[in-house]
């Protein structure tokens, strides 16, 4: 383990040496992003943290530029967005990048979370790293929710009405809390204004939590597809150039797919109802959130009780917080857990099923399907994980990463 | 890997790696500029601002000796229908007396080279520190030279809008304008 107060690094450039002696940003970068020993057996699932960071920066850049032209007043919000689309130079591009960027930010983060679930990245000593990640997810969901309200379309208004109305389910204080949230008796200008202020603020809070997330990661280093600890330098490669280049390549591929949507199908992932100005007196036939909220929306509607639905929806994220303690297995990676491995895929299928249910009106087959989906979701986390860890017989773990990699190449 | 022998002079042939590094760096630079450009261009004036950058004024109702002020690109535009006395006074001033020498003739020529000395069209912003000079409205002080008087620091402009006295360094600016008909002038 490298000590942080060993021999100080020597820089040939005098200016850099002068700065570093007073504020060691250069030696910090050298240590954490150049020499940092990283497991040599990463697969492309490990790319998505970097991809998510790139998307965060992109969302902030496009968002700030949009803010120079957006007006957060109910009488002008919709028109200001249309002005951005039609009159502002490159406005259409910045707006579509921001819109599509939100979707791709969630795609990257959901794949990143899947990696964590499959390879046991949430297990000791990375529990807090995982929890910080769930905090980031929550902040992202709040930011995305408020951002979607800003264009003041029909879906903006009515989606916001439905979700903020959830708080009326809280007994005794529910109505007061909801009025407090709204700043009035319904979603109106005060709500729009405060959502704008918070939507501008939260991304920077996310940046702060991401910084903590990365610092926490660097304490014990990254997990790896085998889930076994790094035993020595033969198990690792320096972060630069191996993973700077690999991540760079992965980011490029991701950005190509992202650009494909942003330029050629920017409205594919959105709802056309949001191109109609908000009308507080006319509810659209189907109120649907953006795709990344659909599974949670399905869980909300699956429980026939109003308060029960709200608790289930928040509960579905709450279980993620305690995941490190729910899973009792001592083996990290699902590659060595022959039974658990399949249940992870079942969970993914379940989340997709819930997403489909969320996209459709709660009628016919979608009702029991959503209920089964919700049931399985909570069964997976609250019953399956604790039990499976105790009764499953894992496959034998390889002695070390280097061993496994070399054996694979030799065979 | 390309093998390269080192000749006596010490120069090494560029390797494939060198080529890749330079090519990647160049593509990266081009890519960065391509991404940065829409963000920077975004701050340029939008279509609605540009639409207001040209204004067409019907000057038929402006009587001889009368002046009007029109808003153009956020600033006042002075249009004065000069009297023959004002024109003569402007043409009589020798260049040596002017801080910013300009003939009256050159100040009343439109972009199609047509000279109409009775129409003086200027941007009504004092070239000193940006106040709007008085002299366009009836009853306004016109200064000692019969043109315009800036109340902020005392600059005085003559009947051709040229600076004659006071701290302003330049004459009142003439925008590009075109008489599209006898009574219609397009500015900007």
Contacts of B47 in chain A (CB under 8 A): 86-89
Name the pLDDT band for B5 (thresholds 50, 70, 90). low
Catalytic residue ranges of B? 153
CB-based contact (8 Å) between B42 and chain A? yes
- Span B98-154, pLDDT tens digits: 999 999 999 999 999 999 999 999 999 999 999 999 999 888 999 899 899 999 999
Q: Name the nearest CA neighbour of B2 among B27, B12, B25, A241.
A: B12
| Interchain CB distance below 8 Å, B42 and A68 | yes
CB-based contact (8 Å) between B43 and chain A? yes
pLDDT at B51: 84
Candidates B38, B39, B47; nearest CB to A87: B47
| Interchain CB distance below 8 Å, A68 and B44 | no
Pairs of residues, one from chain A and one from chain B, whose beta carbons lie less than 8 Å apart: 34
**In whole angstroms, what is the distance from residue A51 CA to residue A46 CA?**
10
| B77 CA to centre of own chain | 12
- Span A279-329, pLDDT tens digits: 999 999 999 999 999 999 999 999 999 999 999 999 999 999 999 999 999
Of A2-11, A159-168, A389-398, least confident by mean pLDDT is A2-11
| Interchain CB distance below 8 Å, B46 and A90 | no
| Residue A210 clears pLDDT 70, i.e. is over it | yes
Nearest residue of A to residue B51, measured between CA atoms:
A87
Q: What distance separates the 2 farthest-apart alpha carbons in chain B?
A: 91
Give the three-class secondary structure for B22. helix
| Residue B4 clears pLDDT 80, i.e. is over it | no
Provide the ipTM.
Answer: 0.79
For an interface test with B, give the residue of A85, A87, A245 to mutate (most B CBs within 10 A): A87
| Interchain CB distance below 8 Å, A94 and B41 | no
Residues in chain A whose Cβ is within 8 Å of chain B: 61-62, 65, 68-69, 83, 86-91, 93-94
Residue B122's CB is within 10 A of a number of other CB atoms, namely 25
Provide, rounded to the nearest whole percent, the portion of chain A with pLDDT above 70: 97
Residues A28-64 as b/e (b if ≥16 CB within 10 A, e otherwise) read eebbeeeebbbbbbbeebbbbbbbbbbbbebbbbbbe
**Nearest 10 degrees: Cα torsion A343, A346, A347, A349:** 160
| Interchain CB distance below 8 Å, A87 and B39 | no
Task: State the nearest Cα–Cα gap between A350 and chain B, in angstroms.
Answer: 38
Q: What's chain A's average pLDDT?
A: 94
Q: CATH assignment of B50-187, given 3.40.50.720, 3.10.110.10, 3.40.50.300, 2.102.10.10? A: 2.102.10.10
Contacts of A90 in chain B (CB under 8 A): 37-39, 41-42
| Interchain CB distance below 8 Å, A90 and B38 | yes
Contacts of A62 in chain B (CB under 8 A): 39
H helix or E strand, kind and range, residue B16: helix B16-41
Catalytic pick among A246, A271, A333, A380: A246
Candidates A62, A65, A87; nearest CB to B46: A87
For an interface test with A, give the residue of B46, B49, B50, B51 to mutate (most A CBs within 10 A): B46
Nearest residue of A to residue B47, measured between CA atoms:
A87
Nearest residue of B to residue A84, measured between CA atoms:
B46
pTM exceeding 0.80: yes
Nearest residue of B to residue A68, measured between CA atoms:
B43
Residue spans per domain, chain B? 13-44, 50-187
Task: State the nearest Cα–Cα gap between A261 and chain B, in angstroms.
Answer: 16
pLDDT at A3: 44
Q: Is A306 a catalytic residue?
A: no
Q: Name the nearest CA neighbour of A120 among A317, A330, A321.
A: A330
Provide, rounded to the nearest whole percent, the portion of chain A with pLDDT above 90: 94
Candidates B38, B45, B46; nearest CB to A93: B38
pLDDT at A10: 79
Q: Is A341 a catalytic residue?
A: no
Q: Is A350 a catalytic residue?
A: no
| Interchain CB distance below 8 Å, A89 and B39 | no
Q: Name the nearest CA neighbour of A218 among A40, A41, A34, A5.
A: A34
Q: Is A222 a catalytic residue?
A: yes
CB-based contact (8 Å) between B41 and chain A? yes
pLDDT at A1: 41
Nearest residue of A to residue B36, measured between CA atoms:
A61
Candidates A69, A83, A94; nearest CB to B38: A94
Query: Where does CATH 1.20.810.10 sit in chain A?
Result: 44-289
CATH 3.30.56.10 assigned to A44-289 = no
- Kind of pairing, strands B55-58 and B163-165? unpaired
């Amino acid at each position: 383990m490298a000590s942080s107060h060993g021999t100080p690094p020597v820089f040939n450039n005098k200016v850099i040496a002068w700065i570093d002696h007073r504020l060691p940003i250069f030696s910090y970068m050298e240590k954490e992003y150049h020499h940092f020993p990283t497991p040599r057996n990463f697969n492309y699932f490990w790319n998505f943290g970097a991809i998510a960071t790139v998307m965060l920066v992109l969302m902030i850049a496009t968002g700030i530029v949009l803010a120079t032209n957006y007006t957060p007043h109910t009488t002008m919000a919709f028109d200001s967005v249309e002005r951005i689309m039609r009159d502002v130079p490159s406005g259409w591009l910045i707006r579509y990048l921001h819109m599509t960027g939100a979707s791709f930010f969630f795609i990257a983060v959901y794949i990143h979370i899947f990696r964590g679930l499959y390879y046991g990245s949430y297990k000791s000593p990375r529990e807090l790293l995982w929890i910080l990640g769930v905090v980031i997810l929550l902040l992202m969901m709040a930011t995305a929710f408020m951002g979607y309200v800003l264009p003041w379309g029909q879906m903006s208004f009515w989606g916001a009405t439905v979700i903020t109305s959830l708080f009326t389910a809280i007994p005794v204080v529910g109505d007061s809390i909801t009025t407090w949230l709204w700043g009035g008796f319904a979603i109106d200008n005060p709500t729009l204004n405060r959502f704008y202020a918070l939507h501008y603020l939260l991304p920077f809070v996310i940046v702060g939590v991401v910084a903590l997330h990365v610092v926490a990661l660097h304490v014990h280093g990254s997990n790896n597809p085998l889930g076994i600890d790094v035993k020595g330098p033969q198990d690792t490669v320096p972060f630069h150039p191996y993973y700077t280049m690999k991540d760079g390549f992965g980011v490029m591929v991701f950005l190509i797919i992202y650009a494909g949507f942003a330029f050629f199908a920017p409205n594919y992932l959105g709802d056309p109802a949001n191109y109609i100005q908000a009308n507080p007196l006319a509810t659209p036939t189907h109120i649907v959130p953006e795709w990344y909220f659909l599974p949670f929306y399905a869980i909300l509607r699956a429980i026939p009780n109003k308060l029960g639905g709200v608790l289930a929806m928040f509960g579905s994220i709450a279980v993620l917080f305690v995941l490190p303690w729910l899973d009792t297995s001592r083996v990290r990676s699902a590659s060595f857990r022959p039974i658990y491995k399949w249940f992870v895929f079942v969970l993914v299928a379940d989340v997709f099923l819930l997403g489909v249910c969320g996209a459709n009106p709660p009628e016919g087959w979608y009702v029991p399907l959503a209920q089964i989906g919700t049931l399985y979701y909570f069964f997976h986390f609250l019953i399956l994980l604790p039990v499976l860890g105790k009764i499953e017989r894992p496959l034998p773990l390889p002695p070390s990463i280097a061993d496994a990699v070399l054996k694979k190449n030799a065979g | 890997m390309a093998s390269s022998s080192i000749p006596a002079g010490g120069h090494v042939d560029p390797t494939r790696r060198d080529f890749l590094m330079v090519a990647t760096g160049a593509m990266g630079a081009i890519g960065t500029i391509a991404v940065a450009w829409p963000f920077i261009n975004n701050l340029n004036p939008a279509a609605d601002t540009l639409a207001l950058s040209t204004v067409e004024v019907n000057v038929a109702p402006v009587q001889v000796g009368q002046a009007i002020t029109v808003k153009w690109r956020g600033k006042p535009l002075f249009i004065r229908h000069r009297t023959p006395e004002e024109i003569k006074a402007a043409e009589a001033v020798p260049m040596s007396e002017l801080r910013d020498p300009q003939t009256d003739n050159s100040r009343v020529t439109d972009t199609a080279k047509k000279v109409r000395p009775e129409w003086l069209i200027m941007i009504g912003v004092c070239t000193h520190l940006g106040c709007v000079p008085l002299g366009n409205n009836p009853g306004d002080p016109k200064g000692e030279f019969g043109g315009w008087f800036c109340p902020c620091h005392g600059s005085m402009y003559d009947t051709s809008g040229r600076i004659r006295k006071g701290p302003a360094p330049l004459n009142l600016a003439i925008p590009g304008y075109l008489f599209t008909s006898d009574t219609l002038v397009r500015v900007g």
